[in-house]
Amino acid sequence: MPFRRGTALPTSTTLGYADASDLGPTAGNGFYTRWPDDLAALQELGITDVRLTLDWARLQPAPGHLDEDWSERFAQIVAAADAIGLRVWATLHDGSMPRWFDNEGGLDDDEAFTRWWPRWVELAAEEFGDHVRGWVPFAEIPRDAPPRPWRDTWGILAGVHPVVASLGPDDASFERYTDTLDVLGLVLPADWDRDGSVGDRELDLASERWGRRLRDAADAVDAPVLVSKFCPCHDDAVTASGIVGRLIESLDDAIADGVGVDACFLEPAISAPDSPVGLLDGDRARTPAAERYVA
């Protein structure tokens, strides 16, 4: 069975980082004002699933409550996507975090992580849980994170919508999540320079690594597998298209070998001025990578 073609709307390229973010403000790709048309363009392209980051820094600029305006904005986006048949998978951390949480120690401080992260998950679940199809709490779970925050996350979110444990390219701790996931997510690497050449040798090695990663995960966990994050990570549209084509071949080969690949989330959905090539460019024209991805 073919995998579903998804895409990701990460904070960095979609909205840019907020003043309240620990990384400081940056510009986005215009999605803030163009989101109704952008969602429609992705649906018309053939995208079925969207991994949308509910930006923690914007939604909770101070501990204890959600920002009313941003909460309403994200609720509108999720509802609009669902109305046109885009399945929304909500991500609660993807890069930036609120400055106040970073000042408490952030994800590197076990006490702050264990104290504040579940409270954020509870707020997001209460506010948006009725409008999402699934949860990818972390775009990439911190590899050395203490176990309790994930167990708390699972306890809050599990039971209604599937919860994805998304592991980084070198994280092989599959068994750690056996009892606390519905779907195993894999971040697949793209290890090359964004503006350099990517030849057949590089793609062969990458494809071999992707395939091995998918098969190892399927062997270790009795759950569906999806690619929770993949970026071609290149500035040249033709090169990015070739990378996407090789990824699809790797996924199709894994499926033919019995790996239950549920979906793939390719990012960015829409290019930003300083981002790699997306499925749509800054003017919302389809890129060669998009044509290859949904062919």
Query: What is the model's pLDDT at position 104?
Result: 94
Work out the average pLDDT over 124-132.
Answer: 93
User: Does residue 24 register a pLDDT over 90?
Assistant: no
Distant-in-sequence, close-in-space partners of 11: CB < 8 Å, separation ≥ 6 = 17, 53, 55, 57, 94, 95, 96
Higher pLDDT, 295 or 137: 137
The average confidence (pLDDT) of the chain is 95
For the whole model, what pTM was predicted? 0.96
Query: What is the model's pLDDT at position 150?
Result: 94
Per-residue pLDDT of 147-206, as tens digits, reads 899 999 999 999 889 999 999 999 999 988 989 999 999 999 999 999 999 999 999 999
Work out the average pLDDT over 66-86.
Answer: 96
Query: What is the model's pLDDT at position 165?
Result: 96
Higher pLDDT, 47 or 65: 47
Distant-in-sequence, close-in-space partners of 33: CB < 8 Å, separation ≥ 6 = none
Complete DSSP assignment for the chain:
-PPEEEEEE-HHHHT---TTBTT------SHHHHHHHHHHHHHHHT--EEEEE--HHHH-SSTTS--HHHHHHHHHHHHHHHHTTPEEEEEEEBSB-BHHHHHTTGGG-HHHHHHHHHHHHHHHHHHHGGG-SEEEEESS--TT--HHHHHHHHHHHTTTS-BEEEE-TT---GGGGTTS-SEEEEEPP--S-TTS---HHHHHHHHHHHHHHHHHHHHH-SS-EEEEEE----S-HHHHHHHHHHHHHHHHHHHHTT--EEEEEES-SB--TTS---SB-TT-PBPHHHHHHH-
Residue type, 80: A
Q: What whole-number percentage of the chain has pLDDT above 90? A: 91
Per-residue pLDDT of 221-279, as tens digits, reads 999 999 999 999 999 999 999 999 999 999 999 999 999 999 999 999 999 999 999 99
Higher pLDDT, 30 or 145: 30
Name the CATH superfamily housing domain 4-294: Glycosidases (3.20.20.80)
Can the peptide bond before residue 268 be classed as cis, meaning omega within 30 degrees of 0?
A: yes
Q: In what order do the strands lie in the sheet with 225-230?
A: 134-138, 87-93, 49-53, 4-9, 261-266, 225-230, 183-187, 164-167
CB of 185 closer than 8 Å to CB of 226:
yes
Query: What is the model's pLDDT at position 145?
Result: 86
Gap between the Cα atoms of 130 and 161, Å rounded: 9
Query: What is the model's pLDDT at position 1?
Result: 63
Q: Residue 106: which pLDDT band, with cuts at 50, 70 and 90?
A: very high
Distant-in-sequence, close-in-space partners of 77: CB < 8 Å, separation ≥ 6 = 35, 39, 52
Query: What is the model's pLDDT at position 88?
Result: 97
